[in-house]
Amino acid sequence: MIYNVYKPAGWSSFDVVKKIRNITKEKKVGHGGTLDPFAEGVLIIGTGKDTKTLQQYTNTDKSYKAVLKLGELTDTLDKEGTITKIKPVPDLNAEEIATVLNSFRGLQTQIPPMYSAKKIKGKRLYLLARQNLEIPREPVSINIYSIRLIDFNNSEIKFSAIVSKGTYIRVLGQDIALKLGTVGHLISLIRTKVGDFNYKNSQSIQNFQEKWKLTTI
């Protein structure tokens, strides 16, 4: 089966997989596209023979809402990291921010961050990063189909984006901050859509567990 599960912040994607495996007692359980532990939102879960179809969800377009905090850079590019750089935030207005956001639309390349689940030569990058190691990463082709300013307040920018597979919103946030003349990291990230699955018809882990109990009574 394929399930649209809402991953809570603080859980890794594999934490959700383990929980669904415990609930369903299925031996084969997987997910279609990693979400960072600090992030929340749509996580596609497959069980049994349907784990073979998960790649199609990994490869599909995804939508996000993010909050970017300007003035501070962290090693993970999100709020769970250690601050590595502080830089003043210039006076900005909505028009300037929207112009910078719009400049990121279209085909481009992006270098995957060290703190990511991407494998290089069989090793997860985040495991190497935790050893204070940094290795060269090849740029990946991505496409940002849409990016829009939702709101801004002092040093925080809230924006939405629709992107292709392989796009790291944390890296996008860092690049936006640099183009605005400062540094930054994400303090909130919500995946609102994966392909045709969106957060409105997703189910919490608690709801999933309750429904599963009803079907097995």
**Which one-letter DSSP state was computed for residue 82?**
-
Cα(150)–Cα(119) distance, integer angstroms: 34
Q: How confident is the model at residue 216 (pLDDT cuts 50, 70, 90)?
A: low
Of residues 123 and 15, more confidently modeled: 15
Residue 154 is encoded by which pair of tokens?
A: 């002092």
Q: How confident is the model at residue 72 (pLDDT cuts 50, 70, 90)?
A: very high
User: What is the DSSP secondary-structure string of 12-48?
Assistant: -HHHHHHHHHHHH--S-EEESS---TT-EEEEEEEEG
Q: What is the mean pLDDT of the chain?
A: 93
The residue assigned the tokens 């890794």 is: 12
Cα(153)–Cα(158) distance, integer angstroms: 9
Q: How confident is the model at residue 126 (pLDDT cuts 50, 70, 90)?
A: confident
Q: How confident is the model at residue 27 (pLDDT cuts 50, 70, 90)?
A: very high
Cα(88)–Cα(93) distance, integer angstroms: 16
For a pLDDT cut of 90, what percent of the chain falls above it?
A: 80
Give the pLDDT score at 201.
Answer: 93
Q: How confident is the model at residue 148 (pLDDT cuts 50, 70, 90)?
A: very high
Of residues 48 and 129, more confidently modeled: 48
Cα(19)–Cα(199) distance, integer angstroms: 19
Label residue 135 exposed, middle or buried (CB < 10 Å: 0-12, 13-18, 19+).
Answer: exposed
Catalogue the active-site residues: 36
pLDDT tens-place string over residues 83-102: 999 999 999 999 999 999 99
**What residue ranges in 83-196 does DSSP mark as E strands?**
83-86, 106-110, 119-120, 123-124, 140-153, 156-163, 184-194
